[in-house]
Structure 1
């Protein structure tokens, strides 16, 4: 049994490997947050590689600098769309759940392209709410929790359909898409991906946007109630679609 964040991280790691992130590369992690993806990249680029994580959130960067102790990783505060040339050029740029928060994803990618070497890679993972939660048996609590999370993202101005728009955005930005796939997080009465930790992390945002109350969420018992609902219905549930794409700059 794993939490949902761990399952999503496994998807991210497969994406990086398939895209060709490898030993010796210099990689930019855009919207790096607390540095979790930066660590994944560092393992792949090895001792000869380098990772620069950039984010506009100073609090997240403070946490990253405190918790990520790796000499190959440098964290920079700023907007990846207008990253200064002083940071040099990169072999690849990686982002997870970043484009969905850009006012214009195509323009953001074009800005990012300025710091990539000719032939460099852009690798992005974006989640999408377009596909409705799916099970053969109705699971009202599962559907409600999913709705709370996506409605919060939408009220924050996020594009909840960015996954389906990912390949198009990369192409319109002048890149050639090399790999594209979508994966689903599947849960059964025996296979659990805990959403409680993510719901807890999102709680201030959910409350601020007026999406649900603490009582409605019942975070302390949320995962147990979700498992009980699937078990009673003997149901398999798909609620999370994740799109992964890698694209290459012109040489």
Structure 2
């Protein structure tokens, strides 16, 4: 059994939003342009996608790896987008609101860049972990908790998924639609060792693990546990929300 790819839920969300050919779309917090490129394929040559991020290094990666004739990347703070931007049919973001200090203010600002009837669509994660497989895979569960604890220590809102519906109502988006999906991984197929390696420095900086934390020992123990217990577990919960500007 293979766990879901990172874009599976995103593609289902974009399909539910009904983004069509010829639309003009803004991808906020586009980072390396993965979602930007997905959007460019949906809107086609008659459409346009603008990816915006304040990290120039990530934008350089986006321009190198996820560019197309209908894509433009701009370097900007999402709170201070250029006023000269033409209005969009759809504004999209993935895992960006949870890292912003004022997510509601960001949404309120983005709303003014939508055409009347335009769609505001976001995908966010939420640290809902039902503990499925916890009794069989305690080290895996500990690894998940460390990841969320690190994000929280850095100021991330690890439960923003559950807040999206009310947040949309509060900025004047009526009847927002919300979907959620559990990301299931298994002892044989998960990203916990890789993600821990990627976040090791951040974990130590935020004292989530001790300074003498050994990545090699961690990986060996995780691999041993995976061999001993064959189990599936809830790795993450993805929330998608969208609604139209009146």
Name 1:208's counterpart in structure 2.
205
Name 1:242's counterpart in structure 2.
238
Following superposition, the deviation at residue 201 of structure 1 comes to 3.0
Deviations 1:103-160 (A, max 9, x none): 2222111100111101111111111114343226341111111111111101110101
- RMSD (CA atoms): 2.4
Please state which structure has a larger fraction of its residues in helix: 1
Does the aligned pair in 2 maintain the 1:95–1:124 contact within 8 Å?
yes
TM-score scaled by length of structure 2: 0.90
Does the aligned pair in 2 maintain the 1:199–1:219 contact within 8 Å?
no
Measure the CA separation in 1 of the matches of 2:41 and 2:196: 28
Name 1:19's counterpart in structure 2.
17
SS at match of 1:74: strand
Measure the CA separation in 1 of the matches of 2:44 and 2:236: 31
Unaligned 5+ segments in structure 2 are none
Give the ranges of 4+ consecutive aligned residues of structure 1 lying more than 6 Å apart after TM superposition. Answer: none
Measure the CA separation in 1 of the matches of 2:42 and 2:67: 16
Unaligned 5+ segments in structure 1 are none
Name 2:94's counterpart in structure 1.
96
- Which stretch shows the higher mean deviation, 147-156 or 211-220? 211-220
Does the aligned pair in 1 maintain the 2:94–2:123 contact within 8 Å?
yes
Does the aligned pair in 1 maintain the 2:144–2:192 contact within 8 Å?
no
SS at match of 1:93: strand
The alignment covers a number of residue pairs equal to 246
- Which stretch shows the higher mean deviation, 210-219 or 121-130? 210-219
Deviations 1:58-109 (A, max 9, x none): 2211221222231111111111222112221111111111111222222111
Deviations 1:142-186 (A, max 9, x none): 111111111110111010110111111111111134431111111
SS at match of 2:115: strand
TM-score scaled by length of structure 1: 0.88
Does the aligned pair in 2 maintain the 1:200–1:219 contact within 8 Å?
no
